[in-house]
A and B are shown apart, each in its own frame.
Chain A
Amino acid sequence: MLEIRIHGRGGQGNVVAAYLLASAAIDGGRYAQAFPAFGAERRGAPVAAFVRIDEHPIRRRCQVREPSFLIVQDPALMEVAGTLAGLQAHGTVLVDGPEAGIDDSGDNEIITMPATRLAMEHIGRPVPNTALLAAFITLTELMPLTALIDALAERFKGPVLENNQKLVEAAAATIEAGRWREVAHGVGA
Chain B
Amino acid sequence: MALALEGSQALARTIALCRPQVVAAYPITPQTHIVEGIAKLVADGKLECEMVSVESEHSAASVALGAAVAGSRAYTASASQGILLMAEVLFDIAGLRIPLVMTCANRALSGPLNIWNDQQDSMAVRDAGWIQLYCATNQEAIDTTVQAFRIAERCELPVMVCVDGFTLTHTLEPLDLPSAEQVDGYLPAYRFHHGLDPADPRSLGTLVAPEHFSEVRHAHHQAMMRAQTEIEQADDDWAAVVGRHCGGLLEVRGDPEARLGILTLGSVLGTLEDAMDNDASLPRARFIKLRSYRPFPAAALREACAGLDTLIVLERALSPGAGGIVGPEVQTALVEMESPPRVHNFAAGLGGRDLSLDLYKRLVDAVLGEDRPKGFAIIDADPTLLPEADR
Taking beta carbons and an 8 Å cutoff, which residues of A are in contact with B? 15, 18-19, 22-23, 26-27, 31-36, 38, 41, 58-63, 65, 151
Q: Within the complex, which residue of A26, A36, A59, A65 is in contact with B174, where a contact is CB–CB below 8 Å? A: A26
Secondary structure type dominating chain A contacts: mixed
Chain A to chain B contacts (Cβ below 8 Å), 20 pairs: A18-B172, A19-B4, A23-B4, A26-B2, A26-B3, A26-B4, A33-B172, A34-B171, A35-B166, A35-B167, A38-B116, A38-B166, A41-B29, A60-B270, A60-B271, A62-B271, A62-B354, A62-B355, A62-B356, A151-B4
Residues in B with CB closer than 8 Å to A31 are: 173-174
CA distance A35 to B174 in the complex (A): 13
Count how many pairs of residues, one from A and one from B, have CB atoms less than 8 Å apart in the complex: 69
| 17 additional contacts (CB under 8 A) given A22-B4, A61-B270 | A19-B6, A22-B173, A23-B4, A26-B3, A26-B4, A26-B174, A33-B172, A33-B173, A35-B167, A35-B170, A38-B116, A38-B166, A58-B173, A60-B274, A62-B271, A63-B354, A63-B356
Indicate which residue in A19, A27, A34, A59 contacts B270 across the interface (CB closer than 8 Å).
Answer: A59
CA distance A33 to B4 in the complex (A): 9
A62–B357 contact, CB under 8 A? Answer: yes
Once the chains bind, are B172 and A34 in contact (CB under 8 Å)? yes
Chain B residues in 8 Å Cβ range of A15: 170
A60 contact set on B, CB distance < 8 A: 270-271, 274-275, 357
B271 engages A59 (CB within 8 Å) = yes
Provide the residues of chain A in CB contact with B167, threshold 8 Å.
Answer: 35, 61
Assembled-state Cα–Cα distance A19/B357 (Å):
23
CA distance A62 to B267 in the complex (A): 10
Contact across chains for A35 and B171 when beta carbons are under 8 A apart: yes
- Measured CA separation A20–B170 after assembly (Å): 14
Kindly identify which residue among B2, B4, B115, B271 contacts A61, using a CB–CB cutoff of 8 Å: B271
- State in angstroms the CA–CA spacing of A41 and B6 once bound together: 19
> A22 touching B172 by the CB < 8 A rule?
yes
What's the minimum C-beta distance from A101 to chain B, rounded to whole angstroms? 32
B345-371 vs A, CB cutoff 8 Å, 1 = contact: the mask equals 000000000111100000000000000
Question: Does B236 make an interface contact (CB < 8 A)?
Answer: no
Rounded to whole angstroms, the CA-CA distance of A151 and B4 in the bound complex is 10
- A38 to B169: give the CA distance in the assembly, Å: 13
User: Is the pair B4, A27 in contact by a Cβ cutoff of 8 Å?
Assistant: yes
Complex Cα gap A59–B3 (Å): 17
Interface SS of chain B: loop
Chain A residues lying within 8 Å of B273, measured Cβ to Cβ, are 59
Taking the closest CB of chain A, its distance from the CB of B38, in whole angstroms, is: 19
Which residue, of A18, A61, A62, A65, has the highest number of chain B Cβ atoms within 10 A?
A: A61
- Give the interface residue-count category, chain B: 20 to 34
Q: Which B91-125 residues have C-beta < 8 A from chain A?
A: 115-116
A35 to B116, CA, bound (A): 13
Q: Is the CB of B166 within 8 A of A36?
A: yes
Q: How far is it, in angstroms, between the C-alpha of A33 and the C-alpha of B167 when the chains are bound?
A: 11
Min C-beta distance of B289 to chain A, whole Å: 12
Considering only CB atoms, which chain A residue lies closest to B175 in the complex? Answer: A26
Chain B residues 134-177 with CB under 8 Å of chain A are 166-168, 170-174
Q: Which of A18, A23, A36, A60 has the most chain B CB atoms inside 10 A of its CB? A: A60
Chain A's nearest CB lies how many Å from the CB of B305?
A: 23
Residues of B within 8 A of A35 (CB): 166-167, 170-172
Residues from chain A with a CB closer than 8 A to the CB of B166 are 35-36, 38
**What is the bound-complex CA distance between A18 and B173, given in angstroms?**
11
Q: Chain B contacts of A18 at CB under 8 A?
A: 172
Select which of A22, A41, A59 is within 8 A of B274 by beta carbon.
A59
Complex interface: chain A residues within 8 A of B173 (CB):
22, 26, 31-34, 58
From the candidates B174, B271, B275, name the one contacting A32 in the complex (CB within 8 A).
B174
Do B267 and A23 touch (CB < 8 A)? no
Q: How far is the CA of A76 from the CA of B326 in the complex (A)?
A: 46
